[in-house]
Chain A
Amino acid sequence: MAAGASRDTRALSAGLAGLALCLLLVCGLSIAVGSRSIDFSVVVDALGGHAQNSTEQTVVNDIRVPRTLLGLLVGAALGLSGALLQGVTRNPLADPSIMGLSAGAAAFVVLGISVLDIRDLGGYVWLAFAGTAVAAVLVYGVASFGREGATPIKLALAGAAVAAGLWSVTTGVVMTDVDALDQIRFWQVGSLAGRNMPVLEQVAPFLAIGIVLALVCGRALNGIALGDSTARALGQRVEATRALILVAVTVLCGAATAACGPIVFVGLVVPHVARAICGPDYRWILPYCLLLAPAIFLVCDVLGRIVLAPGELEVGVVMGVLGAPFFIALVRYRNLAEL
């Protein structure tokens, strides 16, 4: 552990700069490559606003650019929220799904479809947001009972219980409402397809606020990672910090799920990769997650666009297929308990 903390700041900064460059390249890839093959020169012309063919102009500017920006923000949000959750619960397996947040979003979206007859992605955004918030309040509320307050273990248990309860709501509605099933089964896979400008505009402010909030939590997380009593001894207000971090997680995870549906593995895996690179210091882990997560997320999305062209494979599926073996390899390579 000490080795990680004492690693050269300059090397970590250089790594971060290299990662930023990689992310930039991935963004370029995500704009250049899709289920429709368009010459690179045409893509450049389209970005400049003077492509010959108006369809290709539309595809590049109105589909790929907003999709890439959304992937960037959502990827960052998922990576950061995973790191925050793992830190605050001191649980290496924590991610938005284990805290019941994705389950809350899904339950509200499915109820919105079934009861309020909402069919459009813009509507799902608010539903998912509300669902995430309700789940977060429930989990934190349940975990707060008792003298010690919301301890990591109680948060994890409350999260699992609330998740189970909320998934049963979703399943119940879907079982009795075929139409809702039809709509939700696409949303539930997790996808960047068909989102475009309106959805991006809706969620971008929340994602931006959440990302900033997450990045300033680094020092506080380092304290909490040492254990509640040590953090208190160091003069930290543990309860307040934990509540603030959970607010950041809710905003990030709510907005990300709202935009793309529940996406697994980014939030779980990326913090571990970041930790493998920079050790246990959250002031480094968080910026690494900020850049690593969207890079991985976008590469998976690009893969999904080309494997089934002229159709597409949802990024949620690609993440699951690639994420699982990657995670197993990571577990075998490193001792994840070093949290």
Chain B
Amino acid sequence: MTAALLIATTVAACGSDSSASEDAGGPWKFTDGSGETVELESTPTRIIAHSHAAAALLSFGIRPVGIYADVPVEEDPGLKDLDLEGIEILGETWGEIDVEKAATLNPDLIVADWWPVEDAYSGTEGGVKAESKKIAELAPIAGSAQGDSIVSVIEGYEDLARSLGADLSEEGVAGRKQRFEDAVAGFEAAAGAKPDLTALAVSPTNELLYVAVPEHAPELLDFRRWGLDVIIPDDPDKAFPYWENLSWENADKYQPDLLLVDDRSYPENLEQAEKQPTWDTIDAAKAGSETPWPGYWIHTYEDYAEQLESLTAAIDKADPKLGSS
């Protein structure tokens, strides 16, 4: 697929960190999350990005010329409060990208998350329309790898932004990162003060209560690294190991001190849960010890800081003697 491009694409020997380029304007080279190195004759300036990657680039001061999103841009939590003036919207439905319009923007780089499990970037995964996948033929693609930490995703875009010439010492950019680092410190302090506190990440629906498996949720792995004991469910669904499925009869299987509720359909999912007679058999639910958990969308230091601050407040309020497991 990259054969027709101006650039030579090589698989890096070690698929580790990214390497920044030479001076802006000169030849440009970047090794992204997939381990592939993109080389161009000059630093790209006309970037089309998937909405989440766009949020990351914007937070470092890089403005894409076009964005394709999975949902209407005003509903995308990752894009909230962002000024998209002058940026072309090339798609607002998952799997659908207006490649013809994208081509008129003459992009020299496409930026999107790399999904190692699917061996694809956002916009080229299985299920995306064939004509939409042609976005990958307009220019080389680069992006952070989704893996076991949100922080590494953000750092990947930080490296990319630096190589694209972003000024990371600019007051706003540096301030956002500082706020994030403070938020992590605050989170660690709050969690450290309550070593016995347990949390359970859930996604309630009318039919079942889904319990998240931290191994497949990078933000939950981050929380665990920072000292919060997020419960690891013992019987994940074999076909879809992201979750353990509990019938409402078994809602009380885990008794955490704090419930983290999937924020992608929050607060409707919490309202659905509250209608179930057994929701209150989880002591934390009965005590109202619940807080939204950012499910899978965070791509910027600022968004992460904001979420961590609210989680820290919830940890401060939570009672470590509430649950029993």
Interface residues in chain A, defined as those with a beta carbon under 8 Å from any beta carbon in chain B: 34-36, 54-55, 58-59, 62-64, 119-121, 176-179, 182, 186-187, 191, 193-194, 196, 198, 305, 308-312, 314
5 closest cross-chain pairs (CB), A and B? A311-B245, A62-B277, A35-B247, A36-B249, A310-B250
Query: Which of B252, B265, B276 lies in contact with A194, CB distance below 8 A?
Result: B276
| Chain B contacts for A120, CB-based, 8 A | 206, 268, 271-272, 275
Query: Which of B70, B207, B250 lies in contact with A178, CB distance below 8 A?
Result: B70
Q: Tell me the nearest residue of chain A to B75, going by C-beta.
A: A179
A311 touches B278 (CB 8 A): no
B206 touches A121 (CB 8 A): yes
Known contacts A176-B93, A178-B71: does B271 contact A311 (CB below 8 Å)? no
| Chain B contacts for A121, CB-based, 8 A | 206, 275
Q: Within the assembled complex, what's the spacing in Å between the Cα atoms of A311 and B265?
A: 21
Q: Within the assembled complex, what's the spacing in Å between the Cα atoms of A311 and B238?
A: 12
Q: Within the assembled complex, what's the spacing in Å between the Cα atoms of A104 and B245?
A: 30
| Chain B contacts for A36, CB-based, 8 A | 247, 249-250
| A-B pairs with beta carbons under 8 Å apart, 19 shown | A35-B247, A59-B249, A62-B277, A63-B277, A119-B268, A120-B272, A176-B93, A179-B71, A186-B205, A186-B206, A193-B206, A193-B208, A193-B247, A194-B248, A198-B275, A309-B247, A310-B253, A312-B207, A314-B207
B235 within 8 A of A: yes
**Chain B interface residue number, banded:** 20 to 34
| Chain A contacts for B248, CB-based, 8 A | 63, 193-194
Query: Which of A119, A198, A312 lies in contact with B247, CB distance below 8 A?
Result: A312
Query: Which of B70, B94, B249, B277 lies in contact with A35, CB distance below 8 A?
Result: B249
Binary flags per residue of B257-294, CB closer than 8 Å to A gives 1, else 0 = 00000000100100110011110010000000000000
| Chain A contacts for B206, CB-based, 8 A | 120-121, 186-187, 193-194
Query: Which of A35, A58, A193, A196 lies in contact with B275, CB distance below 8 A?
Result: A196
B71 touches A196 (CB 8 A): no
Binary flags per residue of B234-253, CB closer than 8 Å to A gives 1, else 0 = 01010000001111111011
Q: Tell me the nearest residue of chain B to A64, going by C-beta.
A: B249
Query: Which of B94, B246, B265, B271 lies in contact with A310, CB distance below 8 A?
Result: B246
| Chain A contacts for B247, CB-based, 8 A | 34-36, 193, 305, 309-312
B235 touches A310 (CB 8 A): yes
Query: Which of B94, B207, B237, B272 lies in contact with A193, CB distance below 8 A?
Result: B207
Q: Within the assembled complex, what's the spacing in Å between the Cα atoms of A141 and B281?
A: 51
Q: Within the assembled complex, what's the spacing in Å between the Cα atoms of A54 and B93?
A: 46
Q: Tell me the nearest residue of chain B to A195, going by C-beta.
A: B206
Q: Within the assembled complex, what's the spacing in Å between the Cα atoms of A89 and B268?
A: 42
A35 touches B276 (CB 8 A): no
